Chain A
C-alpha cells in the first residue's frame, strides 16, 4: 500500500513551527520522548516504546560451526524487519532503501563497536561456537525507528541468558535451564543511537524527530555513543550539507542524552532482575493490567495556570468595549442555510428562510428558547411583519446587492425582541460586530 503523501499546508505548518522552535507534541528542541521498557517472560525478549514508536526485540542462540577465517569467535546476526502493521507504507518482502539503511546502521552500531565479546561465545575452537541472533520487529512507526531499535537491541542482549555449556575433552554438554542457571552474555558497553533531524539546510536541529517531522526534514544525522563518551558510529543521510561545528555540537548533545538513557536501561534491567528473583510475576501478561503495553495512553500535558487571571484581565482591559447592539433580521434566500452562530441551525429547513437576530445582551438562551417556541407554533407558510427597515440577506451569491424577487412569497418569521434598534448596515459589518461582542463575553 502506498503511504498517504503529506499535504502542502501541513508541511508548511510544520516548517513554520520548527522555525519558531515549537514542536507538535510540546517538546523542546533537544527533548526525547518517554522511553518505556517492558520485558517478556523469556530471557532476551523486550519491547521498547519511544513515544508511540514500538520495537520488539528477541534474542536467540544456537550452536553452529564457526566461520572458517575466524575459528575462535562466535557469530552475531542482526535483523530488523519493518512489518506492515507498523505503517501502511511498508510492504512485506520488499527490500526498500530504508530497510537497508536501518539494518546497516544496527549492524555497525552493535557489531563493529564490539559491544559483545565474541571470543567468549566459543565452545570448541574451530568446531562449535554460539550463534547469537537478534531479531527486531517494528510494531508501530511514529518516527525515529533507529533509536528505538538500538535501545531494544542492546536491552535484549543485556537481558538474554544462554544455556550453560561444559566441555570435557571432545564431549560438549549443554545444560538445560533446569540443570544449571543460564549464563548472561558478556557485554562490554551499551551503544545507544541518537538521531538529529536538520531543517532549512542545517539552521534548525531537532532531537528525536517524530514521524511528521521526519517527513519534512532535510536530512538526518545519527550518532551512536556509549556512556563512556566513545562514539560508536556516525552516519549522515538525506543529502544535507553539514559543517564541522554542527557535528561537534551534536556529539556533545548525544553524550548528555546517552547518559540519561543508559541510566534508564540499567534501572529497568535491575527491576526485572529483582522481580524474577523474588518470584514475582513477570512478562508481558503482567503489563496488561497496568496498561503498559496494550493501550496507547493519552498523556496529560501540564498547563501553566498561574497567571491566567492576570492575563485575562489584561486582554479585557486592552480590548475595545462592546459596541451598541443592533438587531437585524437575517434573510436567507432560498437555497442557503445557517449553522451555528448561536442560532439553531437551519440546515434542514431550507424552506424557512428568514430569521431575526436577537439582541445578545438579553441572553441568547432566552431568545433561543423563545425562538424554539416560536418555531413550533409557526406555520411556515404564514407571513410575518418585520419590525426593521431593511432586512439583511444572507445568501451564497456574491452580488453586491441582492434583489429579492417576489418577496411576498417568502415566509417570514420574527422573534419579538425586548430591545430593538433599527439600523441599516451591511451584513459584513454586522457580523464583525457580532464577533467582537462574542470576544468581549
Chain B
C-alpha cells in the first residue's frame, strides 16, 4: 500500500491546497456568557473551544501564589468523540499533560502577568474535532478567548504547524499529512516582534532545511494574525453596537 503523496505533480496537496496555503479559518468570540472570555475556532476540520476565567484569587493552595505575578493554569483536553476511534481518557495522559504545559509556557510569556500579582488565570481548551494542528488551533482559540476576557497581552499569539514534502515546505498540516510521519514543526509566534514563544519539532528534518520550514511557519502565523485581527475588530464593532454607542 503506497503512502499517499503529500504533493502531487502539479503542486497540489491532498486536499487541493497549494503548499503555502492555510485552511479556511472561522472564529467567533464570546461564545459562552458565564466565562470571562471564550472563543471558538475552526481551522479546516479541526474545531477547538477555549474558555478563560480570570484573573481571580488563587484557588486551591495559596502557597503556590506568586508574589509578583499571576499564575497561568492551563488544561488541555480532547473530547472522546474528537478522533476517529473513541478516546478513553479526555485528559490526564502524558500527551495532554505535555500540551497543557506548553500552552502554559506560551501564555505566561505573552500575558502581562506582572499586572496581577498573587492571582490566577485559568485557560481551558477543548478539542471538539481533531484533524491536524490540534495545538495550533488551541493556541489561536486561547488568544481570542484571552482577548475576549480583557486580559492584557503583549501581542497576539499565533501558532501554525509546518512540514516538508521533499523540498517544498508545507504550511498548516492537516490530519493525514501529520499522520504520514514526515517532519512537523510547530511554531507559536508574536507577529509584531517576530519573537518565538514556542518551538517544537518532531521527526527528522535535515539541518539545512530548518530555515525554510521555519520561514514557512512564520509566514503562516502572520497570515493567521491578519485573520484573527479581523475577527477581533468585528467583535468589537458588534459589542459597541449592542451598547448603543
Q: Which residues of A contact B (CB under 8 A)?
A: 95, 97, 100-101, 103-104, 108, 112-114, 221, 225-226, 229-244, 247-248, 251-252, 255
Contacts and interface: CB of A to CB of B under 8 A. Distances in A.
A248 B206 contact: no
Given A103-B94, A239-B109, 7 more contacts: A104-B98, A112-B203, A113-B203, A241-B195, A243-B194, A244-B211, A248-B211
Contacts of B198: 236
Interface residues of B, number: 33
Given A100-B101, A229-B206, A234 B196 contact: no
Given A101-B98, A235-B199, A244 B205 contact: no
A241 B197 contact: yes
Given A241-B109, A243-B196, A230 B207 contact: yes
Interface string B174-215: 000000010001000010011111111111111110110011
B105 interface: yes
Contacts, number: 89
Interface of B: 94-95, 97-98, 101-102, 105, 108-109, 181, 185, 190, 193-208, 210-211, 214-215, 218
B206 A244 contact: no
A248 B210 contact: yes
B161 to A, nearest CB: 13
Contacts of B204: 113-114, 226, 230-232
A441 B211 CA distance: 61
A242 B199 contact: yes
B195 A231 contact: no
Contacts of B195: 241-243
Contacts of A108: 202
A240 B109 contact: yes
A241 B200 contact: no
A229 B210 CA distance: 11
Given A241-B197, A247-B196, A100 B202 contact: no
13 contacts: A97-B101, A113-B204, A114-B181, A221-B199, A231-B206, A232-B204, A236-B196, A240-B109, A241-B190, A241-B193, A242-B195, A244-B194, A248-B211
A185 B22 CA distance: 41
Given A112-B202, A231-B201, A255 B214 contact: no
B171 to A, nearest CB: 16
A108 B108 CA distance: 24
A101 to B, nearest CB: 6
B178 to A, nearest CB: 11
Nearest to A234: B201
Nearest to A245: B211
A234 B94 contact: no
Central interface residue in A225, A234, A242, A255, by most chain B CB within 10 Å: A234
Contacts of B197: 239, 241
A291 B181 CA distance: 45
Nearest to B205: A231
Contacts of A221: 199
A232 B200 CA distance: 10
